[in-house]
Amino acid sequence: MRNILLLASILFLLACHKEENPESLSAYFPPDHIFEKGYAVKYYSLFEPDNPDQESAIRISYVTYQKSDASHFSSHVYNAGFELTGSKYYRFEGDNLYLDSSFYYPNEDTLKVEIIAAHSKSWQPGLQPIYIESYQYQNEAYRYEVKQVEMGDTSIAGEKAKYFVLERSYRNVKTDSVVSSNRAIEIYRPNIGFWSSYESSEGGSYSGELIEQMPLDTFLLRADHGEKRVAYIDPAESLGGDANFKICSSEQNIADYYNGDPDAGFLYGKKKMLSIIKQQLQAEKLGSEDGMLTYRFVISCEGKAGRFIAQGYDFDYQAKDFKAPTVNHLLDILLSLKTWQPCVIRGENRDSYAYLTFKIKDNEIIDILP
């Protein structure tokens, strides 16, 4: 299923005209008392294949932001396992954003890029900044270029937002050939920052969306999880339905659903799962709830699902408690899905953590991720 909210915003902005008057770049980041203490955001990145016979895939990432002084801030990117994968250090100059330094951390190594052109983004009409970096990876030299070709106003849920159209390319320096290129759209929301993105690519499209925002201290506590896995689900906190559920290995050996080939998920695919959910859904039990309700659970190596827990967020990405009738009704539907594809790693069926997120608005499920 396509991300309805994101695609609706893209269709809208494609019809927008370029803005006449500049607006402050700082208005599109959180207020200073939040920015200076630092905050973190959780993103979903969804791949939708062009081939209808292929399943969509989703990945999770976290990004932290912290302002160091009036004109500088840093951002750090983490994967779903809270492993640091990249760091960037930015500079404000009026309504322009510059990237002063950038690092990637592939395979526990540190890769510093050479920045050739630092102008990353501009909130001023008419400007087309270009960012260029080069780096060495696995004995090959690469050059990454991003050109901002358009900037303007759009609307998200009735609120003003800013969109940027970017042309991006990766080149192999030795062969002077394009490895990949795409045209992307990024959307920033006032007092929030980077909110969503969309890009077309060979074989499909990618869309990313902010799901949760939290103080930096909260993120660091979540990342410093001790001996237990980040995704660990305490069986004592399960919402029920675990009478006959058991994992096949130890807690430490539970993988993530996307680590396998194939990935773990509903055995008969997302389309069939959506059909079953639609048949069983009783809209009145959704009440007047609006927001995102995520069920995290474990799929055993035997293809059974259990240890369901629920976490809710509103559309301002803050934690919220959904009412029991809503939580229980959707849980009952998920418990009725009896056959799951286990995660397969090196030919072996494994236990894995999985999740489903229901986006609910005006008594209707508008999207289900992944």
pLDDT averaged over the chain?
A: 83
How do residues 97-146 score in pLDDT, each as one tens digit? Answer: 999 999 988 776 788 889 999 999 999 888 999 999 998 877 888 999 99
Q: Which of 47-51, 67-71, 116-120, 256-260 has the lowest mean pLDDT?
A: 256-260
Phi, psi angle pair for 289, to nearest 5°: -70, 140
Phi, psi angle pair for 303, to nearest 5°: 80, 30
Burial class (CB in 10 A: 0-12, 13-18, 19+), 126: exposed
Strand 57-69 and strand 72-79: the pairing is: antiparallel
- pLDDT of 29: 92
How do residues 138-161 score in pLDDT, each as one tens digit? Answer: 788 899 999 999 999 998 878 889
- pLDDT of 355: 85
Same domain, residue pair 271 and 350: yes
Name, in order, each residue with C-beta under 8 angstroms of 172's C-beta and a sequence gap of 6 or more: 140, 141, 142, 179
**What does each C-alpha distance from 331 to 102, 259, 277 come to in angstroms?**
43, 25, 11
In the predicted model, is pLDDT for residue 364 greater than 70?
A: yes
Residue 176 confidence class, pLDDT cut points 50, 70, 90: confident
In the predicted model, is pLDDT for residue 5 greater than 70?
A: no
Q: Which of 21-25, 315-319, 363-367 has the lowest mean pLDDT?
A: 21-25
Please answer whether residues 334 and 324 qualify as being in contact, where contact means their C-beta atoms are separated by less than 8 angstroms: no
Same domain, residue pair 210 and 291: no
In the predicted model, is pLDDT for residue 270 greater than 90?
A: no
- pLDDT of 232: 67
- pLDDT of 228: 52
Residue 336 structure tokens: 């009725």
Phi, psi angle pair for 20, to nearest 5°: -90, -35
Domain closes at, from 171, 188, 221: 221
In the predicted model, is pLDDT for residue 201 greater than 90?
A: no
Q: Give the mean pLDDT of 67-91.
A: 91
Residue 344 structure tokens: 């397969």
- pLDDT of 133: 94
In the predicted model, is pLDDT for residue 86 greater than 60?
A: yes
Same domain, residue pair 200 and 248: no
Same domain, residue pair 249 and 217: no
Domain closes at, from 221, 245, 276: 221
Residue 354 confidence class, pLDDT cut points 50, 70, 90: confident
Residue 4 confidence class, pLDDT cut points 50, 70, 90: very low
Cα separation, 179 vs 181, whole angstroms: 7
In the predicted model, is pLDDT for residue 64 greater than 90?
A: yes
Same domain, residue pair 202 and 282: no
The one-letter code for the residue type at 312 is G
- The CATH number for 49's domain is 2.40.360
How do residues 274-331 score in pLDDT, each as one tens digit? Answer: 888 889 988 888 888 888 898 989 999 998 998 998 988 888 777 888 999 999 999 9
Same domain, residue pair 263 and 127: no
Residue 11 confidence class, pLDDT cut points 50, 70, 90: very low
Question: Which one, of 147, 140, 94, lies nearest residue 120 by Cα?
Answer: 147
- pLDDT of 356: 86
- Higher per-residue pLDDT: 77 or 348: 77
Q: Give the mean pLDDT of 43-70.
A: 86
Residue 111 structure tokens: 């890769």
Please answer whether residues 9 and 157 qualify as being in contact, where contact means their C-beta atoms are separated by less than 8 angstroms: no
- pLDDT of 225: 53
- pLDDT of 212: 84
Residue 331 structure tokens: 């849980």
Share of the chain above pLDDT 70, in %: 90
- Higher per-residue pLDDT: 3 or 188: 188
Residue 23 confidence class, pLDDT cut points 50, 70, 90: low
- pLDDT of 326: 92
- Higher per-residue pLDDT: 236 or 8: 236
- Higher per-residue pLDDT: 338 or 102: 102
Same domain, residue pair 202 and 55: yes
Same domain, residue pair 86 and 234: no
Cα separation, 142 vs 305, whole angstroms: 44
Count how many domains the chain has.
2
- Higher per-residue pLDDT: 84 or 7: 84
Same domain, residue pair 200 and 255: no
Same domain, residue pair 63 and 194: yes
Domain closes at, from 170, 196, 221: 221
Same domain, residue pair 43 and 176: yes
How do residues 211-244 score in pLDDT, each as one tens digit? Answer: 888 899 888 877 765 545 556 677 777 887 677 7
For residue 287, what are the domain limits? 229-369
Cα separation, 206 vs 51, whole angstroms: 14
